[in-house]
Amino acid sequence: MTKITTLQELVAAISGPEDVEVYYSTGSEWKVVTNWSYWTVNELNIIVNSGKARIKAKKTEVDMLPFLKNGIDCEFSGLHGNKRWYVGKLGSIVHSDRKFVDMHRDCWVKCRPRLNHPFILSSQELPEGLIVEYGYYNEGTTENPTWKEEKVYDNVWNLVRIVGCKEGYVFPGCSND
C-alpha cells in the first residue's frame, strides 16, 4: 500500500486513471473506505495528516461466468459466515446480490475454481487472470503427469490445474490483499 500524506494526493489518486481503493487505519487494522458519504473533508484531512491513509491498486475480479458452462468444480465459502471451502458445481450467479449459487441452490459470497486439482479441459477457454499449469503424461502411461506452466502441445484435450490468480487479479468475494 502507498502512504498518502496530503489531501491533494488523495484526490489525485481517486480521480487518476488507475482504479484504486483507499484504506484507513483504525489502529489495529486497515479498512477499505466503502462509502464516501460518511466522510467529511475535515475527517479525511485528519486521517491523511496523521499518516493513517493508504491507497492500493484495485484488483480485477476473475470472471466466473465460463465456469457455469464448462463443468469444472468450484470452491464456495462464506455461507452464513462459514469460512470453510466446499466443492461443487456453479449453478448460477446473482449479479445484483454478488452471490454464487451452487447446484444445490445454496448461496455463497465467495467462489473460485477448484485449486490444485487436475481436470480435463476441452476447447473451452478459461477466463483471464488465472495461473494455469498443463499436465502431460509420459508415453505409455496415465500416471504421474509432468506439469508445465505453458502448453507444450496444441491438443484439443489438455490436463489442466488452476494454481491461483495472476498479479492484479482476485477471485470474487475474496480478499483484495
Per-residue pLDDT tens over the stretch 4-49: 888 888 888 888 777 788 888 888 888 888 778 888 888 888 888 8
pLDDT of res. 177: 45
Place of cell 491523511: 48
- Comparing CA positions, the residue from 63, 87, 93, 84 lying closest to residue 74 is 87
pLDDT of res. 83: 77
Q: Are 72 and 85 in contact (CB under 8 A)?
A: no
Per-residue pLDDT tens over the stretch 82-126: 778 899 999 999 877 778 998 888 888 899 999 999 888 766 678
Q: Model confidence at 156, in pLDDT bands (50, 70, 90)?
A: very low
Q: Model confidence at 75, in pLDDT bands (50, 70, 90)?
A: very high
pTM for the whole thing?
A: 0.68
Residues in the chain: 177
Vertex 134: Cα angle to 149 and 91 (nearest 5): 115
